[in-house]
Amino acid sequence: MIVLVLNTGSSSVKYQVINPEIKQALAKGIVERIGMSGAILTHKPTGRDEVRLSGEILDHKMAIEYVLSILLSKNHGVIKNKKEIDAVGHRVVHGGEAFSDSVLIDEKVMSEIRRCIDYAPLHNPPNLKGINAAQQLLPNVPQVGVFDTAFHQTMPKYAYLYGLPYVLYKRHGIRRYGFHGTSHRFVSDRAVVLDGRPKDKLKIITCHLGNGSSAAAIKYGESIDTSMGFTPLEGLLMGTRSGDMDPAIILQIMHKEDLTPNEATTMLNKHSGIQGVSGISSDMREIEEEYESSDRAKLAHDIFTYRLKKYIGSYAAAMGGVDIIVFTGGIGENSSLVRKNALAGLEFIGMELDQEKNNIRSKEERSIQSKNSKVKCFVIPTNEELVIAMDTMRIVQTQPKKNKSGFHI
């Protein structure tokens, strides 16, 4: 089976062509600067050289058309005919309370995704554009939606409700939804395999640390809490997002700095976090380069790891213990300093790192706890596209088959 995985952003389309039966990508790439001058397509067929093409790409439909043409091209292609694409899997950021699993997209699903635009105004509209374009360009090919929020739908009500008037939950859906669900699900499933014990015996804390970061408490295979909330702004310190803060600060700053709601949103999402504290960069590599020489870089790093440590401690408390801590994402997979500092002092819950193993640079899944550690610690590269392709295959294969006249058989 061949699945085209699409992750459509406001001005970009990321794609992968994956055979989920053998868990292998045939090609991946990205179209950037859609609707701007000098759009670029970067395409990498597996095992062959990367190609970069530029041109004018006015909208998402043109972008996906461009992707299809390179997938079919003589020199850089990986398929001979569009008909080889059996299904399309779409990353959809917000599925609200409607979706606790991936789903075959039909009109009802589309209108539910549309309804969730209020919750994710920057993400769901381009996701919908991607789905519409793929439906037009690949008619009769099943399209599956895989939601960032779905995995966290198992959270109990006391974990997802805020201390606000209950009517706001009922009227406007104000609650914790959580994000990065595809990644938390993938790495926790891999952790269960690496560990060897049954899933329904394990308490796992997964830390997805990248430009956006979140932690999740996964008890017996289900997410019971996660650090991102109503939007991806809550929780850990992030590249440019503030994470947790006293909500009164926002009102105070809006008043003192004379900010509109839009300006305040931009400040919290684009100018805060590691970038805002350090004044240097949102990029953890650059922060670590300056860690010894710049007080503000060290401060940003320290806030990041201190906050992560607090989440790990609180999730261990929430689950009544922890068996495995997992690190993933660009920072989680690559920064030994973040892992070391975040886990320092957690010996009291049974977590002890092997510093040598922690310092090894590798792209492979690995365990980095000491011999005596009661808690295991895994570094697991995430693969959200593979999850989307696997889910797409599962959903498509479990649909009732139709005969030629279109009736279910």
9 is a site residue for ligand AMP (CB under 6 A): no
Q: Which amino acid is at 310?
A: K
Identify whether the C-beta of residue 162 lies closer than 8 Å to the C-beta of residue 301. Answer: no
By rule CB under 6 A, what count of residues binds ligand AMP? 12
Nearest CB to ligand AMP, comparing residues 95 and 329:
329
Q: Around Cβ 44, how many Cβ atoms within 10 Å?
A: 17
Residues 234-253 touching ligand AMP, rule: CB under 6 A, are: 239
Identify whether the C-beta of residue 220 lies closer than 8 Å to the C-beta of residue 391. Answer: no
288 is a site residue for ligand AMP (CB under 6 A): yes
Tell me, yes or no, if 148 is annotated catalytic. Answer: yes
Identify whether the C-beta of residue 100 lies closer than 8 Å to the C-beta of residue 150. Answer: yes
Choose which of 29, 96, 273, 330 interacts with ligand AMP (CB under 6 A): 330
- d(C-alpha 268, C-alpha 216), whole Å: 22
- d(C-alpha 277, C-alpha 43), whole Å: 36
Q: In what helix (H) or strand (E) does residue 318 lie, and over which residues does it extend?
A: helix 295-319
Identify whether the C-beta of residue 261 lies closer than 8 Å to the C-beta of residue 269. Answer: no
Identify whether the C-beta of residue 83 lies closer than 8 Å to the C-beta of residue 97. Answer: no
Taking CB under 6 A as the binding criterion, the range among 11-19, 300-308, 325-333, 392-400 that sits at the site for ligand AMP is 325-333
Nearest CB to ligand AMP, comparing residues 335 and 392:
335
Nearest CB to ligand AMP, comparing residues 188 and 335:
335
Taking CB under 6 A as the binding criterion, the range among 109-117, 142-150, 323-331, 366-374 that sits at the site for ligand AMP is 323-331
Q: How far is the CB of 87 from ligand AMP (least distance, A)?
A: 26
From the candidates 106, 118, 148, 354, give the one annotated as an active-site residue.
148
Q: How far is the CB of 196 from ligand AMP (least distance, A)?
A: 27
Nearest CB to ligand AMP, comparing residues 41 and 284:
284
- d(C-alpha 209, C-alpha 211), whole Å: 7
- d(C-alpha 208, C-alpha 327), whole Å: 6
Choose which of 228, 329, 353, 378 interacts with ligand AMP (CB under 6 A): 329
Residues that bind ligand AMP (CB under 6 A): 210-211, 239, 283-285, 288, 329-331, 334-335
- What amino acid positions are annotated as catalytic residues? 148
